[in-house]
């Protein structure tokens, strides 16, 4: 028996369903078949995910007469670049994709971001379907329509807002996910709890062990809740002009850490975990929250087994510059997301230099 829950992201004519469940992967083709698309399809994935889930997905798409072509991108954030996008264009043309032929992203965030950007820009947009197989992608990439690639000058500098037609998230795929990547996903779940949901925060404090043991029902519920929370935020601000940037809690410093370590040392979620600890500390130092709130945030991140300390060698001018070149900079100031209470945030406009000074104080 598979359990399955569906929520709809309400964006007018661009609305789409997110289906979450345990063991639902073989049902993908039948569900895609309900969308007006075809007659061919492309499955973008990486070699690792292809080996684990490729044949199940391919045969379900074949059964639905969607004539799939599998396209493998090399694994890793370092391949999230314009060359990979150009590679996908070439493969899409080889596969004779037309305007109504869906592109299906099977994998984690990198696969989703690159395939999504290619789908958004191939023939000025073909149907895009997300099949996230990492916890991070399930809770974070399924909602928001962000697609894109990195530029040598920074992360996600190239991209487009493009909504999927369907998201299909099977929490059973997390059982083959390396432990470190599970934790990286948990970091993003903690983020949702801190910025939007005291209830989720309490649940995580109580049930972290069951979360880390990948309990089907608990994960299905948590993934759904995170998608709902993000959908609520995004529906208020689809193009990221203001409110939506609360989702960047922990990301200003997190992105800078990833960048300074060349996207090699830390997983995104790990860097964000450190960024959240810093953001909570800065919130407390700047008087936005109590010491107790800061402590709860730090404690939960530690409880999940995530890193909490910024490496000493990264603190300094480099970090300030990395923060300053982040794309969230407006008129040379950074809109820093702070926590007020568990579940409530505020903004603090700081220059890169101010952030650096605080980071140095904090890390001393």
Least Å distance, CB 340 to its own copies, is: 26
Chosen residue from 1, 124, 179, 364 binding its own copies by CB under 8 A: 124
**Is 329 a binder of its own copies (CB under 8 A)?**
yes
Q: How long a stretch of residues is the chain?
A: 364
Site string for its own copies, 331-360 (x = CB under 8 A): x-----------------------------
**Is 93 a binder of its own copies (CB under 8 A)?**
yes
Distance from C-alpha of 62 to C-alpha of 64, rounded to nearest angstrom: 5
**Token pair recorded at residue 131:** 């099949």
Nearer to its own copies among residue 157 and residue 212 (C-beta) = 157
Strand ordering across the sheet containing 344-351: 329-330, 333-341, 344-351
Q: Give the list of residues 6+ apart from residue 189 with CB closer than 8 angstroms, or none.
A: 135, 139, 200, 204, 211, 222, 226
Distance from C-alpha of 17 to C-alpha of 164, rounded to nearest angstrom: 9
Distance from C-alpha of 333 to C-alpha of 350, rounded to nearest angstrom: 6
Alpha carbon dihedral 360, 154, 135, 91, in 10-degree steps, equals -170
Chosen residue from 4, 87, 161, 346 binding its own copies by CB under 8 A: 161
Burial of 211 (0-12, 13-18, 19+ CB in 10 A): buried
**Is 120 a binder of its own copies (CB under 8 A)?**
yes
Among the residue ranges 118-126, 130-138, 181-189, 194-202, the one whose residues contact its own copies (CB under 8 A)? 118-126
Nearer to its own copies among residue 7 and residue 329 (C-beta) = 329
**Is 11 a binder of its own copies (CB under 8 A)?**
no
Q: Is 288 a catalytic residue?
A: no
Chosen residue from 86, 180, 309, 357 binding its own copies by CB under 8 A: 86
Binding site for its own copies (CB under 8 A): 39, 82, 86, 89, 93, 98-100, 117, 120-125, 146, 148, 151, 153, 156-161, 239-240, 327, 329-331
């Amino acid at each position: 028996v598979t359990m399955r829950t569906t929520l709809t992201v309400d964006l007018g004519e661009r609305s789409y369903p997110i289906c979450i469940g345990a063991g639902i992967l073989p049902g993908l083709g039948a569900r895609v078949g309900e969308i007006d698309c075809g007659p061919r399809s492309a499955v973008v994935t990486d070699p690792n995910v292809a080996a684990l889930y490729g044949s199940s997905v391919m045969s379900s798409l074949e059964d639905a007469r969607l004539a799939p072509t599998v396209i493998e991108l090399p694994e890793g954030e370092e391949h999230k670049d314009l060359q990979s996008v150009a590679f996908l264009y070439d493969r899409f043309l080889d596969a004779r994709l037309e305007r109504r032929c869906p592109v299906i992203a099977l994998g984690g965030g990198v696969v989703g971001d690159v395939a999504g950007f290619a789908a958004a820009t191939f023939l000025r947009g073909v149907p895009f379907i997300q099949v996230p197989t990492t916890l991070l992608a399930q809770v974070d990439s399924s909602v928001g329509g962000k697609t894109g690639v990195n530029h040598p000058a920074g992360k996600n500098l190239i991209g487009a807002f493009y909504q999927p037609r369907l998201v299909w998230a099977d929490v059973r795929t997390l059982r083959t996910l390396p432990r470190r990547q599970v934790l990286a996903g948990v970091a993003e779940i903690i983020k949702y709890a801190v910025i939007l949901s005291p209830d989720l925060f309490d649940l995580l404090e109580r049930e972290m062990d069951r979360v880390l043991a990948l309990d089907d029902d608990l994960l299905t519920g948590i993934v759904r809740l995170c998608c709902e929370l993000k959908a609520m935020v995004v529906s208020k601000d689809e193009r990221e002009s203001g409110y939506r940037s609360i989702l960047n809690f922990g990301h200003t410093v997190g992105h800078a850490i990833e960048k300074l370590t060349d996207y090699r040392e830390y997983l995104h979620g790990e860097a964000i975990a450190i960024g959240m600890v810093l953001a909570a500390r800065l919130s407390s130092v700047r008087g936005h929250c109590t010491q107790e709130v800061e402590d709860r945030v730090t404690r939960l991140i530690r409880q999940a087994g995530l890193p909490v300390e910024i490496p000493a060698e990264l603190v300094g001018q480099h970090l300030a510059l990395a923060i300053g070149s982040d794309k969230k900079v407006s008129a040379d100031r950074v809109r820093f997301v702070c926590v007020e209470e568990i579940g409530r945030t505020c903004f603090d406009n700081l220059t890169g230099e101010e952030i650096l000074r605080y980071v140095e104080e904090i890390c001393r």
